[in-house]
Amino acid sequence: MSSKNTNSNIDYTLISIIILLGIVSVFTIYTLQPHLDQNYYLKQVIWYIVGSMAVVVMMLFDFDRLRQVSWILYGIGMILLLMLFFHFPPGIAKEVNGAWGWFEFPVFGTMQPAEFMKVFLIILLAHVIVAHNEKYKNHTLKFDIWLLTKIALVTLPPLALVAKQPDLGGVLVLCAITVSLVLVSGIQWRIILSLVGTAVIAVCLVVAAYIYAPEKVESFVDAAGFEHVESRFQGWLNTEEVGQSGGYQLIRAMLAIGSGQLSGKGIGDYQVVDTIPEPHTDMIFTAIAEQFGFIGSSFVITLYFLLIYRLIHIGLQSNDPFGSYLVTGCIGMFTFQVFQNIGMTVKLLPITGLPLPFISYGGSSTLTYLIAIGMVLSIHFRTKEYMFD
Amino acid sequence: MGDKKKKKKSQLPFRLNILFIFVFGLFSLLILQLGVVQILNGEEAQNEINKTENTPSTKPVPRGKMYDRFGRIVLDNEPVKAITYTPPKNGESAAKRLELAENLAQYVTMFKDREELLDNIKERDKKEYWYLQNAKVVQERLTKKEKELDNSEQYKVMLDKITDKDLQEIEWTDELLNVIAIKKEFDQAFELSPHVVLNEGITEEEFAQVAEHLPELQGINAAIDWKRKPLYGGTFNSFIGGITTSDKGIPLENRDYYLTHGYSLNDRVGTSGLEQQYESVLRGRKEKVQYTTDNSGNVVGSEIVVQGKSGNDLVLTLDMELQQAVDKIVQEELKTAMGKVNNNGYLEDALVAMMNPQTGEILAMSGVRYDREDNEYKDQSYRVIYDAHQPGSAVKGATLLAGFDSGVVHIGETIRDTAIKIAGTPKKESWTNLGNPSDLKAIERSSNVYMFNIALRMSGASYQYNQPLRGFDWDSFQRMRNYFNQFGLGVETGVDLPYEATGVVGQDTVAGKILDLAIGQYDTYTTLQLVQYVSTIANDGYRIRPHLVNEIRQAEPQKGQLGPVVKSFNTEVLNKIGIDDKYIERVKQGFINVFHGSQGTAAGRWSGEYRKYKVAGKTGTAENPQYEDGKMKAYTENLSLVGYAPYDNPEVAFAIVVPKNGGGNTQYAVHHEIGKKIIAKYFELKDERAKNGVDTDLLSDSKQEEDGQTKEE
């Protein structure tokens, strides 16, 4: 907590990071342009301009007011997801790559409600936790379980609807948001640790079962409606055998990234990325890695790290717990998406449909993340510095 | 705020810091893995890319040839210049194919004849071309609903929407039609398998032009293709068999079998005769070449991944000189028989099989059919193994041996040659009253009654003139056939061809039919079965598998030289008949008497100079009345002759069947005439070779006719 003047003001560091990410995004899409069917880089520029306006609006808006509209926002998000669930309205609700996750408006373009739901969930969860903590000052076992129940009740409905689309990536992001908020909500360590322990054991059991009796797990997973999850998991485990189907994307991605080597092949000099379908969306990191190699990709990862660092800083500074929780939710969201998106292209994690925040082409996602950043800026803007805390 | 707030504030930063450490850990992991992928394994990935950019291509190798037993080439390969197109993996877009076709069209004219070109290009082809030029325009014509159809449906609809008026926009010059004709060929190609675009009719100049411009014609190759070339025209062709064309490729019904055995869809495979039987030997191994290209797709090097290997050659058991001579004899004799007055219009076939009885090597197989409709003599030698006929008395050797072995007659036994009459069946007797023939005389003079008695005794029935048979054992049919089967009659001979007939087995509903079975007038047998039967007797009871291929040899290292032997087929004994040798000796003596005895049925025909060949065997005549709509139209006889020579050390066995001759005294003994001539020819060739060696160059004599078929003037 250094000086009085730099705080309670606009966070230029954060803004610079976002601008840098925006440049990387537009530039990368531009180099991919010869392999794309539409003028995506210009569209992305437009989205950034629209997003910047959203940032300004959000920043000027007192984030504390969000508590009052949190349920309304959540309700809007739920209605949109429910409409998708019933494929309503016909002709506008749209299936892309087997998932019912989009609305397509005639002039406007497409919109992905699950993206907005991420921010709405952050706001509502932050509100629920703050309200709870204000009511129950002590963290006893009983109160903590009550809080956990409330969090679960809020999280599960959108989770189920997104899972039904099906959009595994979206589900995982919502989970990441919830987990990070549970961590900072003040719930006792022993509850958190036992929850984490249970989760770890469960995952280990499923993986072990899959290794020893794949058919049974497969049929169970298929029955639960997650065939695509299983095929991607397959592609991740046995990349070579699955070959054309599940593993194809991964093989191409690994070749693209690997052949970038230390310093990359140079701007627009693609050998592999152009054979990956839709390289400007989820797989955009491969384009960066092939062009600019390890140096370029490490630079991008560092940018993200600085972004998270900055968010943590703002979260720590905020003297309003609601603000801290909002920031934490954003941290969870960004961290998970970056880790999952890059992790899947380098075979750390199975392939999942998730955009790389701020860089992947996409209107709804870019707008959502910029709104989140606007929210964070607003928190920073309104943080009062106590000289003598 | 006070205490509580402070407490809360104190736990929040701590937990946020834990979150931060966690984030730090995750990002470090990313950088670490990136390092592994990009720096540690980066070079490998780059190599992998360079490798996968190239796809191996295959080159055809010549199929194995066939030689006769003396190394005379029977089936050769003829090189044919061909332009091939090999689509890359996952195919090539229609626009690219058109571009390539335009390129190739500069050097090649598909149809030299304008009419043919116009015939080849259909309206649909023109529409496809127009579509490629105006894809956007056609797409706009689609209704909203049609746009939702799947690709192939949509394409169909779009083609339908192209009108005649549209087509008139383009001037369909011959040059353009040529381009379309080439593209049409490209459209049929499968990924990674070379498709022949043009072979017959390509000029030297076109081939040279294409070869020169190969670098700019991606996927095009100017290659040498192979075409089968039988050197002896029609002779023996039906046993050599055929292969599919490369347009047809592997037979669809066995597609999976061929694909799993490394065939491409457009490979040619044997579908009949020896080509089919020895497919795996003849096909060889395709050469697989891996081309390496630089970034702009130019070929910078090539590596042979799999060394190509020509198909192995077959050395047949056949004596081509004898085969040709037999073909000629059979045809001439059939022609003579056709001209005789007794011919009542049913005679059409003459069938001959000759083999070495000791080894099973087939020396010649000849079948000539007179085609009444075309008025033409046709080489249809496959009838030797496909067509079965009642041979008549030729099978009596087997009947007598069955009698001996069953203990119903004994050596030297005589039986009175009187007519047999069973109630309800016609009277049966020998061709003339033979008195009291012994077993030997019964063969020499061909006594039916003797054989009838054997059959009746084997059946256990009590016989009285014009009474029904009492106590007839129906199993005796099977017992008799079991004996016949031991000689190869009624079972597969085991010849190395994909198919052979086994003849028709009669329905045993009338007890008296066993008498017909005993004299060869009931079940039917192929000519090849008959030669195996007589060989088994010549061979003292060893039934040998007849075969057409003696050796498999590697492709010739030099022209006119046979390659090293890969496999040779030895004599294979299928079974030894379970009958005492003294009985077989008795039948052999009977067979000698047929040709040399004072009363032998063949002795008169084989007198004089023919005695020196020491032929033994048996004649046969089967009544074969021709019915139409239940009415007898004409009386004909199947004439047959089986035998071997010389009888003291048999080296050639033969079976001759000439079905549906006219009967009567004026009958021309076509079977004897064929028999005498082929045996004389066999020994003549043998003597000549002993003196002058083998004449390996039959073709340059140009003595033989162009093919086995000649028009009847």
pLDDT over 80 (residue A220): no
Contact A122, A326 (CB under 8 A): yes
Tell me which of B77-81, B146-150, B168-172 is least confident. Answer: B146-150
Residue partners of A241: CB distance under 8 A and separation at least 6? A247
Given this model, what pLDDT does residue A235 score? 65
Cβ pair A261:B34 closer than 8 A: no
Indicate whether B330 pLDDT > 80. Answer: yes
* Minimal-distance CA residue of chain B relative to A272: B49
For residue B479, give the DSSP letter: H
Please name the residue of chain A whose CA is at the shortest distance from the CA of residue B36.
Answer: A258
The verdict on A137 touching B (C-beta cutoff 8 Å) is yes
**Residues in chain A, overall count:** 389
For every residue of B320-356, DSSP letters joined together read: HHHHHHHHHHHHHHHHHHHTSTT--S---EEEEEEE-
Mean pLDDT of B57-77: 84
pLDDT of residue B620: 93
Q: How far apart are CA A309 and CA A294, in angstroms?
A: 22
Structural domain includes residue A336: yes
Other CB atoms within 10 A of residue B601 CB:
22
Strand stretches in B555-676, DSSP E? 565-568, 573-576, 616-623, 626-628, 631-634, 636-645, 652-662
Which is more confident, B617 or B560? B617
Cα-based distances in Å from B87 to B84, B108, B170, B219: 10, 19, 28, 6
Phi, psi dihedrals of residue B358, rounded to the nearest 5°: -85, -30
Inter-chain residue contact B19 with A257, CB threshold 8 Å: no
Pairwise CB contact (< 8 Å): A305 & B18: no
Asked if A348 lies within 8 A of B29 by C-beta distance, the reply is yes
Q: Cβ A255–B48 below 8 Å, yes or no?
A: yes
On whether the pTM is more than 0.95, the answer is: no
Is the pLDDT at B265 greater than 80, yes or no?
Answer: no
Structure-model confidence comparison of residues B199 and B269, the more confident one: B269
Instruction: Round to whole Å and give the CA distance between B245 and B200.
Output: 13
pLDDT at B7: 47
Contacts of B3 in chain A (CB under 8 A): none
Chain A: nearest CA to B138, how far in angstroms? 19
Asked if the structure places residue A51 within a domain, the reply is: yes
Statement: residue A304 has pLDDT above 70: yes
Question: Nearest CA of chain A to the CA of B156: how many Å?
Answer: 24
Q: What's the whole-number average pLDDT of chain A? A: 85
B393 counts as catalytic: yes
In chain B, whose CA is at the least distance from the CA of A348?
B33
Looking up tokens 């009947």 gives B399
Residues for chain B: how many in total? 713
* CA dihedral for B267, B271, B272, B273, sign (positive or negative): positive
Rg (CA), chain A: 21
Number of domains in chain A: 1
If you average pLDDT over residues A90-107, what whole number do you get? Answer: 79
Work out the minimum CA distance from B139 to partner chain A, whole angstroms. 17
Size of interface A-B (CB pairs under 8 A): 114
Tell me whether residue A200 is in a domain: no
Q: Nearest-CA distance from B40 to chain A in Å?
A: 8
Q: Which of A184, A311, A338 to mutate: most B Cβ within 10 Å?
A: A184
Among B16, B29, B46, the residue with its CB nearest the CB of A184 is B16
Chain B residues in contact with A289 (beta carbon < 8 A)? 34, 38
Residues of chain B neighbouring A316 (CB-CB closer than 8 A): 13, 16-17
Q: Is residue A311 part of a domain?
A: yes
Among the partner residues A184, A301, A339, nearest to B19 by beta-carbon distance: A184
| CB atoms A316 and B37 under 8 Å | no
Q: Which residue has the higher pLDDT, A4 or B375?
A: B375
User: Among B254, B309, B247, B244, which residue's Cα sits nearest to residue B283?
Assistant: B309
Minimum distance, in Å, between the CA of residue A103 and any CA atom of chain B: 18
Check CB contact under 8 Å for B34 and A301: yes
* Nearest CB to B46 within list A261, A289, A315: A261
Domain that holds residue A39: 3-187+226-384
The closest CB to that of A331, out of B4, B19, B38, belongs to: B19
Tell me the one-letter amino acid at B127: K
- Report yes or no on A199 lying in a domain: no
- B-chain CB neighbours of A332 within 8 Å are 19
Q: Percent helix, strand and coil across chain A, each rounded to 5?
A: 70, 5, 25
The percentage of chain B sitting over the pLDDT mark of 90, rounded to a whole number, equals 38
Residue B294: its chain A contacts at CB < 8 A? Answer: none
All domains in chain B, ordered by first residue: 320-541+577-701 (3.40.710.10)
How does residue A238 score in pLDDT terms, banded at 50, 70 and 90?
low
Q: State how far the Cα of B362 lies from the Cα of B433, in Å rounded to an integer.
A: 39
B30 to A184: CB separation less than 8 angstroms, yes or no: no
* Pair B183, B126: CB distance under 8 Å: no
Q: What is the mean pLDDT of residues B430-451?
A: 91
Q: How many Å apart are CA B180 and CA B130, to the nearest integer?
A: 11
* Closest residue to B30, CB basis, from A186, A254, A343: A343
Would you say the C-alpha torsion A363, A364, A367, A373 has a positive or negative sign? Answer: negative
Chain-chain contact of A257 with B34 (C-beta, under 8 angstroms)? yes
Is residue B584 over pLDDT 60? yes
A272, HSE (Cβ side, Cα atoms, 13 Å): 32
A188: distance to nearest CA of chain B, Å? 10
User: Which is the catalytic residue, given B246, B381, B393, B535?
Assistant: B393
Contact A186 B12 (CB under 8 A): yes
Q: Which of A191, A261, A292 to mutate to probe the B interface, most B CBs <10 Å?
A: A261
Q: Which of A303, A308, A322, A346 to mutate to test the interface with B (most CBs of B within 10 A)?
A: A346
Confidence of residue B675 (pLDDT cuts 50, 70, 90): very high
pLDDT tens profile B372-401 = 888 889 888 889 999 999 999 999 999 999
pLDDT tens for each residue of A332-382: 999 999 999 999 888 888 888 888 999 999 888 899 999 999 999 999 988
Lowest mean pLDDT among A94-98, B69-73, B130-134: A94-98
Contact A261 B8 (CB under 8 A): no
| Contact state of B30 with A186 under an 8 Å Cβ cutoff | no
Out of A35-39, B181-185, B365-369, B425-429, give the one with best mean pLDDT. B365-369
Q: Is residue A300 part of a domain?
A: yes
Is residue B591 scored above 60 in pLDDT? yes
The first and second tokens of residue B455, run together, are: 């059959």
Pseudo-torsion of CA B665, B670, B672, B674, nearest 10°? 170
Residue in B8, B27, B48 closest to A321 by CB? B8
Q: Determine contact, residues B616/B647, Cβ cutoff 8 Å.
A: yes
Instruction: Report if residue A43 sits inside a domain.
Output: yes
Residues of chain A contacting B44 with CB distance shorter than 8 Å: 258
Put simply, the chain A residues between 179 and 218 with a CB less than 8 A from any chain B CB are: 180, 183-184, 186
A209 lies in a domain?
no
Closest CB to B41: pick one of A133, A184, A258. Answer: A258
Examine the pLDDT at A244 and tell me if it is beyond 60: no
Most trustworthy range by pLDDT among A73-82, A188-197, B166-175: A73-82
**Closest chain A C-alpha to B14 CA, distance in angstroms:** 9
The answer to whether the CB atoms of A255 and B45 lie below 8 A apart is: yes
ipTM of the complex: 0.89
Q: Do A257 and B38 touch (CB under 8 A)?
A: yes
Residue-averaged pLDDT of chain B: 85
A219 vs A81, residue with greater confidence: A81
How far off is chain B from A45, nearest CA to CA, in Å?
Answer: 28
pLDDT at B51: 58
Tokens of B112: 């030299």
A305 contact B CB<8A: yes
Q: CB distance B42–A289 less than 8 Å?
A: no
Q: If you average pLDDT over residues B12-19, what whole number do you get?
A: 87
